[in-house]
């Protein structure tokens, strides 16, 4: 992943805690791609609201939850809720676990009062790499945080994935965003912590608790020191020559052969130990299809742009 910075935009005042005791329900939209934990975030929020005595309606689409497909969940709670879905322009909070998905759903956010919390993680889908030519440009969103800020009243661009990686578990990125979300909803901190703990594996409670606290603290820091106007998300490389490099975690590979069978360049195979390996690196185009389809997160694709790699690509 490219080096990215955390950015708070249009966040000069304290966030408004949405009060579900009002006549209108509170609407929270959670979006991302399969494998990021979108459904887990929605379940935590729905459970928390139910425990608080509110009526909760939840609607989700996760048929494409196989890594890479779009996943979204509508959560509405209040004293009385009728419809399970959130209409365009009616979301009080939009939580996005992936940058492009956040932009895709931005029209659903209330423009005057809505809060946008987004991981700056960029997952470029395979169909964005229409050309197999080495170094070919990728078709992916190039919008910056400042451009998004012009559309919403309060926005936070958080590199939650990097934060989680530094804690030792990239999968805790969704809990970092839950921590950020906890600062704009009305529920007490002990209730949040208890509910999050109930929904994560026991062996990951410590790292997820740290991730939750990290998300809360980041919002507090962003409020005390708003980002300068020139802060921006780095754009996705489009024309820079690169050399694909695969990072394979042998211990995670379960020998399913999905990547081997679906690699368009046929450059992967299972070795004698039934672990995937790259046998034809010169054929790899960095399309990321193997990374996206691996159900065990055993493959990561790096696009190296250092001088030696650039020379090799020429």
Residue by residue, pLDDT tens for the chain (314 residues) are 333 445 555 554 444 455 545 568 999 999 988 888 899 999 999 999 999 889 999 887 765 555 567 889 999 999 888 889 999 999 999 999 988 888 889 999 998 899 999 998 887 766 666 666 665 666 667 777 777 777 788 889 899 999 999 999 989 999 999 999 999 998 999 999 999 999 999 999 999 999 999 999 999 888 776 554 334 444 444 445 678 889 999 999 999 999 999 998 899 999 999 999 999 988 888 888 899 899 989 999 988 875 443 343 33
**Which domains, from first to last, does the chain contain?**
7-224 (3.40.920.10), 243-313 (3.30.70.20)
Q: What is the pTM of this model?
A: 0.67
- Give pLDDT, residue 307: 42
- Give pLDDT, residue 3: 39
Is 9:117 a contact under the CB 8 Å cutoff? no
- Give pLDDT, residue 136: 61
How many CB atoms are closer than 10 A to CB 187? 17
Instruction: Pick the closest to residue 163 from 128, 119, 125, 108 (CA basis).
Output: 119
- In whole angstroms, what is the distance from residue 281 CA to residue 243 CA? 9
- Give pLDDT, residue 226: 53
- In whole angstroms, what is the distance from residue 216 CA to residue 156 CA? 12
- Give pLDDT, residue 13: 44
- In whole angstroms, what is the distance from residue 102 CA to residue 6 CA? 15
- Give pLDDT, residue 287: 84
Chain mean position to CA 3:
15
Instruction: Pick the closest to residue 19 from 185, 142, 212 (CA basis).
Output: 185
- In whole angstroms, what is the distance from residue 288 CA to residue 275 CA? 18
Q: Which residue has the tokens 């996206």?
A: 292
- Give the CB-side neighbour count of residue 38, counting CA atoms within 13 A: 35
- In whole angstroms, what is the distance from residue 295 CA to residue 266 CA? 19
Q: Give 64's contacts (C-beta < 8 A, 6+ positions apart).
A: 34, 70, 71
- In whole angstroms, what is the distance from residue 63 CA to residue 41 CA? 17
């Amino acid at each position: 992943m490219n080096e990215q910075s955390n950015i708070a935009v249009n966040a000069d005042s304290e966030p408004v805690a949405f009060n579900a005791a009002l006549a209108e329900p509170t609407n929270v939209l959670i979006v991302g791609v399969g494998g990021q934990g979108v459904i887990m975030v929605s379940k935590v929020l729905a459970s928390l609201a139910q425990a608080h005595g509110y009526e909760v309606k939840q609607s989700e689409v996760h048929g494409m939850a196989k890594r890479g497909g779009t996943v979204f969940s509508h959560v509405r709670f209040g004293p009385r809720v009728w419809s399970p879905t959130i209409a365009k322009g009616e979301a009080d909070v939009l939580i996005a676990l992936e940058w492009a998905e956040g932009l895709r759903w931005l029209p659903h956010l209330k423009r005057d009062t809505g809060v946008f919390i987004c991981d700056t993680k960029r997952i470029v889908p395979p169909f964005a790499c229409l050309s197999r030519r080495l170094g070919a440009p990728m078709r992916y969103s190039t919008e910056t945080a400042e451009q998004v800020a012009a559309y919403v009243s309060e926005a936070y661009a958080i590199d939650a994935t990097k934060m989680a990686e530094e804690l030792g578990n990239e999968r805790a990125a969704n809990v970092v965003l839950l921590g950020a979300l906890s600062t704009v909803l009305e529920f007490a901190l002990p209730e949040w912590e208890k509910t999050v703990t109930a929904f994560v594996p026991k062996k990951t409670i410590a790292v997820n608790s740290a991730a939750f606290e990290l998300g809360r603290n980041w919002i507090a820091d962003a409020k005390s020191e708003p980002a300068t106007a020139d802060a921006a998300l780095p754009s996705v490389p489009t024309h820079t020559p690169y050399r694909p490099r695969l990072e394979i975690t042998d211990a995670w590979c379960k020998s399913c052969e999905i990547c081997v069978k679906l690699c368009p360049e046929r450059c992967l195979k299972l070795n004698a130990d039934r672990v995937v390996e790259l046998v034809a690196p010169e054929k790899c185009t960095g399309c990321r299809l193997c990374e996206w389809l691996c159900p065990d997160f055993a493959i990561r694709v790096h696009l190296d742009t250092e001088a030696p790699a650039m020379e090799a690509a020429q």
